[in-house]
A and B are shown apart, each in its own frame.
Chain A
Amino acid sequence: MLNDFLILMKQELVITIIIFILLFIKIGSKDWKNESLLKLINVLLLLNVVFSFIGNQEGVLFNEMFRTNDLISLEKGILSLGTLIISLSSYSWLQNHKHVAEFYMLLLSTLLGMFLMISGGHLIMFYLGLELSTIPLAAIANFDLDKRKSSEAAFKLIISSAFSSGLLLFGISLVYGTTGTLLFSELAQTLTGTPIQIFAFILLFAGFAFKISVVPFHLWTADVYEGAPVAVTSYLSVISKGAVLFVFVSVLYGAFKPLATTWYNMLFILSVLTIIVGNLFAIRQNNLKRFLAFSSIAQVGFILIGVSGSSQTGTASVIYFILVYIFSNLAAFGVISFISAVTGKETIDDYKALYKTNPFLSWVITIALFSLAGVPPTAGFFGKYFLLMAGTGIAGSKGLIIWIIIAALNLVISFYYYLRVVKAIFMDANETPIQKLSVPFLPKLAMIICVAGIVLTGLFSFIYEYIFSLSNGF
C-alpha cells in the first residue's frame, strides 16, 4: 500500500514537497535574495518536470478516487513543463516582487489541484481539485499589489468561479440523487439519460464551460486577463485551461458516455458560437492581453471540435493541440510579459516597428502568432488539422460537414487578426519604438524552448504518434 502510494502519487508528492520547502524557507529566519530564491525554485521545477516524465506506472488508489495511467502522467508532465516555462519567462517580473515564495506556493497549489482533478475518478475529487486550482489563482491574480485593475481581476475571477462552482455542485448533487454514486466508472453504467440527468449534465457542462471560457460563459475572461499580471494571465489561459480540457475529455468519454448525443449537440452549438464570437472580438482589440484573451476563446472553440470526435483521434488531437498551444501561447505571452515588465507597454500600437529595435523578440512573437493562426510548417497547423480531422470523424463517420466548414472559414478570419500584429511589428513606421532591450538568460531560455517546441512538435511525427498510442476513444 505504502509503496503503491509513493509510486503512483509521485507527481503530486513532489509538488507538495516543493510547496512545503518554500513554506519553510519563508517562515525560516534566513533572508533570501529574490535572485537566489528564483534560481532555487526554477531548479526545483525542472526536477519536477524530470520526475513527472520518468518511472510512471498505472494504478488505482483510495478506492478509485485516484487513478493514474500513462496518458494521465503525460498530461501532468505537459502541465509541469508549461509551469516551468511560465516560471522562467516571468523572471523579470518576479525579480522585484516582494512575495516570490508565496507566489510559487499558490501557483504550485493550483498545479496540485489540477493533478488531483486529472487523476480523480470521483466527482468529489474532481470538484475539490477544481477549487484548489482556481481559488489560489484568484489570489495570485491580485499580485500586482498596487494596481487596482489587478484587484478587479482577482475579484471577477473569484466571483465568477464561485458562481460556476455553484452550478457545478447543483449538477453533481442531482447526479448523486438520481444515480446514488459519484464514481466515474459506476456513473458510466448507471446514467440512463432521463430528463433530470440531462439537466444535471447541462449544469456540470456549464461549470466546465466557465473554466475554459466557452461562449456564452466567457464574460469574465477578457477583464481578468487584462488586469492580472502577465505570468498569471498566461497560466490561466494555458495551464488551467489545458487541465480542465484534459478532464473534460476524460469525463465526457468516461462517465457521461451514455449521454453522448446530448453533449455532441451541445458541443456543436457552443463551439460554433465560441469560434465566431472569439474571432469577431479579437479583431477589435488593441491591448495585446485582451487580444490574446479573445484569441484563446476562439482556440477553445476549435478544441471543442476535436472533443466532439469521440474517437482515439479525438483524445489524441486535443492533447497534442494543447501541447502545441502551450508552446505557442507561452512564447507570445513570454515576449509580452518581458516587454510589459520592463517598459509597461501592452498595446499593439506600442509594438509598431518592434523589429527595428528588437529582432529576436519580434521573431519569437511572430513564430508564436503563426503557430496560433495555424500557418504551416509550425506545429499549430498540424494541431488544428488534427482537431478538424477528429471532428469530421473519419473513423466514426458522424461529423457534421457544416461545422467543419464554419471552422475553416473562421480560420481564415483568424489569419487577419494574427497577421495584423505581425504587420505592426515588421512593416508599420513608428517614431517612438520600444527601445532596444537586452533579454536576461532565463526568459530567453523560456522563449527558445517555446520556439523549439513550436517547430519540432510539428516536424517530428513520433510525438503525435506517441500521444495517439496512449489515447483511447469509445
Chain B
Amino acid sequence: MSASVIIFYCIAAFILLTGIAAVTSRKIFRSAIALLFSLTGIAGLYFWMDVNFIAAVQIIVYVGGIVVLIIFSIFLTQKSGEEMPKPLVSRVLFSLLAVLSGLGLIYRLISEYGFNNISKQPFNVEVSEIGTQMLSTTEHGYVLPFEAVSMLLLAAMIGCIVIALKASPNPSKGEA
C-alpha cells in the first residue's frame, strides 16, 4: 500500500467520522461545526486528486460561505445551547438498518463495476482553461448552463425579497 493510498484512507475516515458526528450530535451547533470539518475533509480529497482550483472553490463556497450561513441561521432561530430530545430507539435502529443496506448496495455495485475501463487520459485543470470553457460556445463550452444559472439566481433573489418583505405591515413605495 503506497503512501498516497494511506493518505486517501485517512482523509476518507476523517470525512466519514466528522459526518457521523454531524448527524448524531444532539447539540445543533456542534453538528454545524462537525459539518464544517467534514466539508474541509472533502476539500482535502480534492487536493489529494491534484485539482487545486476545485479544492479552493470547495473551501470558499462550502466552508466559507454555506457553513457560515448555517451557523448564522442557527443563532438567529434556535436556542443553540439546548440539547435536542433523544431519538427513539426504533428510529435509530431503522436508520442504522437503512444506512447499512445502502452501504452494502453501493459497495457491491461499485466493486462489481470496478471502474477499470475508464480511460486514464490526463485532463487540463488550469484555472484559465476552466474559465475559457465556462464561457465558450464551442465544443465542451458551458455558456448556456452559465446563463441559465444567472436566470435562476435572479429569480431566487426576487423570490427572497418578496417573501422577506412579508413582515412589514405597511409596505413603503419602491420596495423591489
Chain A interface (Cβ within 8 Å of chain B)?
A: 1, 16, 19, 26-27, 29, 31, 61-63, 65-66, 98-99, 101-102, 105-106, 109-110, 112-113, 116, 124-125, 128-129, 131-132, 135-136, 138-140, 142-143, 145-146, 154, 177-178, 180, 194-196, 199
Would B144 and A129 count as touching, CB distance under 8 A? no
Whether B92 sits at the interface, judged by CB under 8 Å, is no
What 17 additional pairs, Cβ within 8 angstroms, besides A16-B151, A29-B174, A139-B163? Answer: A62-B137, A63-B139, A63-B140, A63-B141, A102-B161, A105-B155, A109-B155, A125-B145, A135-B156, A136-B155, A136-B156, A136-B158, A140-B159, A145-B162, A178-B115, A195-B113, A196-B112
- Given known pairs A105-B155, A136-B155, the reply for A129 and B148 (CB within 8 Å) is yes
Chain B interface (Cβ within 8 Å of chain A)?
A: 105, 109-110, 112-113, 115, 118-119, 137-145, 148-149, 151-152, 154-156, 158-163, 166, 171, 173-174, 176
Min Cβ gap A135→B in Å is: 6
Min Cβ gap A145→B in Å is: 5
Would A194 and B141 count as touching, CB distance under 8 A? no
Would A63 and B113 count as touching, CB distance under 8 A? no
Cα of A124 to Cα of B152 in the assembled complex, Å: 14
Chain B hits for A142, CB < 8 A? 162-163
* Nearest-neighbor residue (CB-CB) of A129 within chain B: B148
The count of A-to-B residue pairs whose CB atoms sit within 8 angstroms is 102
Chain A hits for B138, CB < 8 A? 63
Cα of A31 to Cα of B175 in the assembled complex, Å: 12
Cα of A194 to Cα of B115 in the assembled complex, Å: 12
Find A125's partner among B148, B159, B166, B173 (CB 8 Å cutoff).
B148
Q: Which 10 A-B pairs have the closest CB atoms?
A: A139-B159, A109-B155, A136-B155, A196-B109, A128-B148, A196-B113, A62-B144, A26-B176, A132-B152, A145-B166
Min Cβ gap A16→B in Å is: 7
- Given known pairs A195-B109, A195-B112, the reply for A139 and B162 (CB within 8 Å) is yes
Find B158's partner among A1, A98, A105, A138 (CB 8 Å cutoff).
A105
Chain B hits for A136, CB < 8 A? 155-156, 158-159
Chain A hits for B119, CB < 8 A? 180
Would A106 and B155 count as touching, CB distance under 8 A? yes
* Nearest-neighbor residue (CB-CB) of A195 within chain B: B109
Find B151's partner among A26, A109, A139, A178 (CB 8 Å cutoff).
A109
* Nearest-neighbor residue (CB-CB) of B160 within chain A: A139
Min Cβ gap A30→B in Å is: 11
Cα of A140 to Cα of B161 in the assembled complex, Å: 12
Cα of A215 to Cα of B120 in the assembled complex, Å: 42
Min Cβ gap A116→B in Å is: 6
Cα of A236 to Cα of B109 in the assembled complex, Å: 36
Cα of A327 to Cα of B154 in the assembled complex, Å: 31
Chain B hits for A112, CB < 8 A? 151
Would B145 and A65 count as touching, CB distance under 8 A? yes
Min Cβ gap B115→A in Å is: 7
Chain A hits for B171, CB < 8 A? 98
Would B144 and A131 count as touching, CB distance under 8 A? no
- Given known pairs A98-B171, A102-B176, A139-B162, the reply for A65 and B144 (CB within 8 Å) is yes
Min Cβ gap A2→B in Å is: 11
Would A125 and B155 count as touching, CB distance under 8 A? no
Cα of A66 to Cα of B118 in the assembled complex, Å: 27
* Nearest-neighbor residue (CB-CB) of A177 within chain B: B115
Min Cβ gap A200→B in Å is: 9
Would A106 and B109 count as touching, CB distance under 8 A? no
Min Cβ gap B67→A in Å is: 17
